[in-house]
């Protein structure tokens, strides 16, 4: 079947091998990014990129902490808790 016949029959053109590979690569990258974020949440590792995206979306115009300040604040929040403790 020629391309003209396929077009008349309503068949969709197949994507080229290059575009299919690029689509799969982008999809794989998205899956890996989601898995990395999930693992960070499970183990309690702060995610700076997610923090920056949140600040840009919800708090535009406000200053954003540097990476060093962000992680220092996360460590303080985790280990320097005041108030009632069980241990």
Domain assignment present for residue 9? The answer is no
Q: How many domains does the chain have?
A: 1
Domain assignment present for residue 8? The answer is no
For residue 62, the enclosing domain spans 18-79
Q: What is the model's pLDDT at position 17?
A: 54
pLDDT tier for residue 79 given thresholds of 50, 70 and 90: confident
Domain assignment present for residue 47? The answer is yes
Domain assignment present for residue 72? The answer is yes
Domain assignment present for residue 84? The answer is no
pLDDT score of 44 more than 70: yes
Neighbours of 73 (CB within 10 A): 13
Cβ(67)–Cβ(48) under 8 Å?
A: yes
Report pTM.
0.53
What's the mean pLDDT in 55-84?
87
Domain assignment present for residue 43? The answer is yes
| pLDDT tens readout for residues 22-41 | 788 899 999 998 888 888 88
């Amino acid at each position: 079947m020629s391309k003209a016949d396929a077009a008349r029959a309503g068949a969709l053109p197949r994507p080229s091998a290059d575009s299919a590979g690029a689509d799969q690569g982008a999809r794989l990258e998205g899956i890996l990014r989601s898995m990395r974020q999930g693992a960070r949440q499970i183990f309690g590792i702060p995610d700076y990129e997610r923090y920056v995206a949140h600040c840009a979306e919800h708090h535009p115009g406000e200053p954003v902490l540097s990476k060093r300040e962000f992680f220092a604040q996360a460590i303080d929040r985790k280990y320097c808790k005041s108030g009632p403790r069980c241990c």
